[in-house]
Structure 1
Amino acid sequence: MTSLPGSIAFDEYGRPFIIIRDQEKQRRLTGIDALKSHILAAKQISNTIRNSLGPKGLDKMMVSPDGEVTVTNDGATILKMMEIEHEIGKLLVQLSQSQDDEIGDGTTGVVVLAGALLEQAGALLDRGIHPIRIADGFELAGQKAVEHLDKIAGLFSVSDDNLEPLIKVAMTTLGSKIVNKCHRQMAEIAVRAVLSVANLETRDVNFELIKVQGKIGGRLEDTILVEGVVIDKTISHPQMPKELKDVKIAILTCPFEPPKPKTKHKLDVATTEDYKELRKYEQEKFLEMVLQVKQAGATLAICQWGFDDDANHLLLQQSLPAVRWVGGPEIELIAIATGGRIVPRFEELNPSKLGRAGLVRELSFGTTKDRMLVIEKCSNSRAVTILVRGGNAMLVEEAKRSLHDALCVIRSLIQEPKIVYGGGAAEISCSLAVAAYADQLASLEQYAFRGFAEALESIPLSLAENSGLSAIHALAEVKAKQAGSGDPALGIDCMQTGNSNMREQHVIESLKSKRQQIKLATQLVKMILKIDDVRSSNDSHGL
């Protein structure tokens, strides 16, 4: 036998055949074995985060390789920080991230639903049903579930005059978060922030104008909404005024320093006179820059770069307060909020490029020496900042994640003002509808429809388990009530108030969020069921 370079060899008759390099080291799954591996991986990941679902859900402590600790029950964050090697596990992480990017809420529920659907698919595979028939059946069942969601959804009024309905929706979202000790306050902050940047006529929300800033110290209850921009900086000199009114702001990305000669030659200072001459040149250049800012009419300079003590002293002498080392994203937000232009060179500065704000002040915190700069009453008053306080970094970060979820849900309601009821009520209603439709089918897809209906029940089951209830009994009771009364607002009483009517408990969810959960989970499961061969990327293939 002779062989040529590469992966093709020839036998003694000259017939070519394929050599797969390192074949004994390759891991390859095909057919039903591949599907079973997918389902097992998805079940493990789904079971890992399902006990984080709902108002009584548990938190996860994630420890990074460098020892940084994160405590959260946000599904997208948990999955992102888990070191998942299985290919299907990585797809579930992307599924959760897609839900987070599109809606912002429901990141745990979408993974739990996808895991339950794959578990049902495993049972159907064991009965000998082809994976393509299962995938097609799930897709049709998902469409029926979404159609039923649209039927049971109620209209939702969004207006500046009555904030209470929006606050109740935000409270539902925040009910499962660490901030539920100041539940209503956080919900009100989130609602006011979104409405500040929303256009209710075009149903558009510009999230770029909302900044969530964290500051360690104080209590969660000290969290405030600032109608303007908050930056974690202070006025550059302690003798400069700490409060300025009717401010004209020069927003600079050029440093307060003399221009350096662009040569490779070095400058030798040999005598005292040379040094004095160099100092005089620097002073003149500093003064020239400061006067250029003053002549443009600016009463405050915000600089992206730093400047040394000489420049700082000259700024004080010329009565021009300044802020240094302001980051790029913050510079952009200040420019948007104040209506100013970012200026890259002092020569380009003129009065038309200045930003305007009614009040700039330093905000100090209690007995600590921590201070932040607040720019309020801006010309573009729609820009807002939520300043989150907390006892430690972990608490502040989780509060920021929680508020992000609430902001996203309120945005979804402004874009599409329709709601369904939480506590698993919408899932139970869809499950009953899909199961009823399955009885009308004569084809093999009826089994997939029943499996889909059972998978939808995984959400209320998880809610009941996490609330310490007898899950099967609680679910059976609510299903019987819904089937008897036809009321889609009946769900799991997670707070154990003795009332399973989510309408009366004000447990409200966005229709857009729930619809997206079902669509994304169904699409991913259909894609996974069509993967019957898993090969590593370094497999060698011949022609």
Structure 2
Amino acid sequence: MSDVARPPLAETGDGRDGEVPTPAESARALAGTVRSTFGPNGRDKMLVGSDGTVVVTNDGASILDRLDVEDPVARVLSRAVRTQRARVGDGATGTLLLVDELLSAASSLVADGYHPTTVVEGYALAATRARERLPAYELPVEEGDEERLRSVAKTAVTGRWDDAAAERFAGLAVSGLRAVGFDDARLDLCAYPGGELRESTLLDGVLVDTDTSSTGVEDGAVEGPRTLADARVAMLDAELAVETPRGAGSLGLDGPEELDALREHERSVRADAVRAVSGSGADALFCQKSVDGAVRSELARAGVLVVERTRRDEFDALARATDADPTMAVADLSPERLGRAGEVRRRTVGTADTLVVTGGRGESRATLLLRGGTPHVAEETERIVEDCRTLVRRALRDEGVLPGGGAAATALARDLGAWSEGVGGREAAAVEAFADSLEAIPRQLATNAGLDPVDSLVELRTRHSEGDSTVGIGRSGALREMVEAGVLEPSAVLDRTLTTAFEAVSAVLRVDDVLAVDAADAPGSDEGGPGGSGNGAPRRSRATGGYPWAIGH
């Protein structure tokens, strides 16, 4: 992706020409790409690909996924941070901010004479203690707690849309999950441009996109029904066509009589297929592969809706939703193998043709139909609602949420600061540094809200020392009680942030040197010795001119 938002030169170590950036400088530069996106006041990044593809987002994980990172330390950190999103669905930016602070603090400690191993051991003690203290700040949450579940979803949206849209998307995500018993595998997301956000809705069933998938509805001279009520659904997991010779061979005909016989045979095969479908009582036929054109036309005349080349995931979802028993041959269709749907209806969404199957008698399934004015808005809407769905499900899985706005991080920082006084040895300084680093989260929230981070942190520490452990940085930048404001996040997000940040920093601090090895010099190659160049000597990495990575066009 293009470097539309390149970090300031001073943060990348450009002032030291000819020297490779330190790990702390690499982390600072990497964090600089997403720092301004953090929190409800975070700004968007426009990512432009070499092919002209444009993505506008403030999601840290999405940004890191699209950056071409070359610096080895930055690459290690980027890969570690991206796992945060994969594990718990959120927290990538906060994790990178914490990594940045921890590496910066570690550099200061090492400069003061502390060994990197001592710093790692102190960080390990702090991370373990912080994770043990998390339950003390948790609030319980369960499926029936509508208000808290909506708060979790809305927290994921806040800052990415206006309040009205955030409320709507949070409500849709929770309602959609509730409709499928909070089994997110049965809740589909489909986003289409050409509409307004308020047109987004929840469908009780499966939506089949006949435009973007390979699916096709008969579109010949004969049009089948557009709406079927109380439909009987047949599922064919095979091709419905007249068998033709395949391979290098050819079919030889000795005269007009044999040609007529061949044609009659084909007509007979098609007629048998039509009789088999009609005789089963099916109102709609979903075929996983292609359907012969003549058969489609005859079935359409008979009032049967035919859908061919149904995408595999849609085919399986339809079978489960309608309780249909798919067959491998059209001759095996029977009334007992048909599924049932309350309605099968063709629907145009924007410029796309879709098929909506609702009211199935099988497993409950739902689809969130999301709208956006442009393709970019529709895509971002889908990403946002996906975050809502993931975080709500995660909160229920762990049965606990934490106050957001940096409240939980500040509370842990205060705990660790007090606890470090009882830690013996040189590790105590690392524990205290870990505690101070946690305040990077509320500090960045205050900065992005346009306030003085120092003043905000002093006021926040004072409130926490007075026992207000759920007070954090509100959307306006002023201090607010986060539970009352409805700013909640799954406890797993901060828990995983602590783990990921420690593991990433530990991996970097344990590295003594960075060596570059040619592919031909790798173990097992024919050239050079193990880990070295052709003469067996490893090569030290070249200077990068101060930038920890290159972002190419």
Is the TM-score greater than 0.5? yes
The aligned counterpart of 1:177 is: 160
Structure 1 CA distance, aligned partners of 2:347 and 2:294? 26
Equivalence for 1:489? 470
Counterpart residue number, 1:224 = 201
Paired amino acid for 1:454:
D
Contact 1:224 1:387 in 2 (8 A): yes
Alignment of 1:220-369 (within 5 A): 220-233=197-210, 235-237=217-219, 239-267=223-251, 277-365=261-349
Q: 1:476 aligns with which of 454, 458, 462?
A: 458
The residue correspondences of 1:205-220 to structure 2 (distance < 5 A) are: 205-220=182-197
Of stretches 270-279 and 465-474 in structure 1, the one that deviates more from structure 2 is: 270-279
Task: Look up the equivalent residue of 2:283 and give its one-letter code.
Answer: T
Q: Which amino acid aligns with 1:380?
A: G
> Which one of 142, 150, 155 corresponds to residue 167 of structure 1?
150
Question: Equivalent residue for 2:422?
Answer: 440
- 2:483, 2:266 → 1: CA distance? 71
Deviations 1:241-278 (A, max 9, x none): 11112222122232221112244212467977666554
**Which residue matches 2:543?**
none
Match in the other structure for 2:502: 522
Say which SS state the counterpart of residue 347 (structure 2) adopts: strand
What TM-score comes out, normalization by structure 2 length? 0.84
Give 1:230's aligned amino acid: L
Distance 2:516 2:358 in 1: 56
Matched, 1:389 2:371: yes
Among the aligned pairs, what percent are the same residue?
28
Contact 2:41 2:449 in 1 (8 A): yes
- The question of whether the paired residues in 1 share the 8 Å contact of 2:224 and 2:301 is answered with no
What SS is found at the alignment partner of 2:422?
Answer: coil
Task: Answer yes or no: is the 8 Å Cα contact 1:34–1:531 preserved in 2.
Answer: no
Q: Contact (CA 8 Å) 2:204, 2:358: kept in 1 or not?
A: yes
In the alignment, the residues of structure 2 paired with residue 100 and residue 263 of structure 1 have an alpha-carbon distance, to the nearest angstrom, of 49
CA distance in 1, matches of 2:225, 2:183: 34
8 Å contact kept, 1:35–1:531: no
Which residue in 1 is equivalent to 2:394?
412
Q: Counterparts of 1:147 and 1:36 in 2: how far apart (Å)?
A: 35
1:69-218 superposed matches below 5 A: 69-159=54-144, 162-178=145-161, 180-198=163-181, 205-218=182-195
1:514 is matched by which residue type in structure 2?
A: L
Quote the RMSD (CA, aligned, Å): 2.4
The CA distance in 2 between the partners of 1:470 and 1:189, in whole Å, is: 36
- Kept in 2, the 8 Å contact 1:296–1:350? The answer is yes
Q: 1:141 to 1:279 in 2, by over 3 A?
A: same
Aligned partner of 1:21 in structure 2 is none
Asked if 1 retains the 8 angstrom alpha-carbon contact of 2:403 and 2:488, the reply is yes
> What's the offset of the Cα at 1:171?
0.9
Task: Evaluate the alpha carbon distance shift between residue 65 and residue 168 of structure 1 in structure 2; reply closer, same or farther with a 3 A threshold.
Answer: same
Change (3 A) 1:514 1:308: same
Q: 8 Å contact 1:152–1:420 — kept in the other structure? A: yes
Deviation at 1:197, TM superposition (A): 2.7
Distance 1:150 1:34, change over 3 A: farther
Distance, in Å, in 2 between the alignment partners of 1:346 and 1:470 is: 72
1:157 is displaced (CA, Å) by 4.1
How many positions carry a matched residue from both structures?
499
Shift of 1:402: 0.6
Distance 1:355 1:41, change over 3 A: farther
Equivalent AA in structure 1 for residue 279 of structure 2 = Q
CA distance in 2, matches of 1:270, 1:49: 75
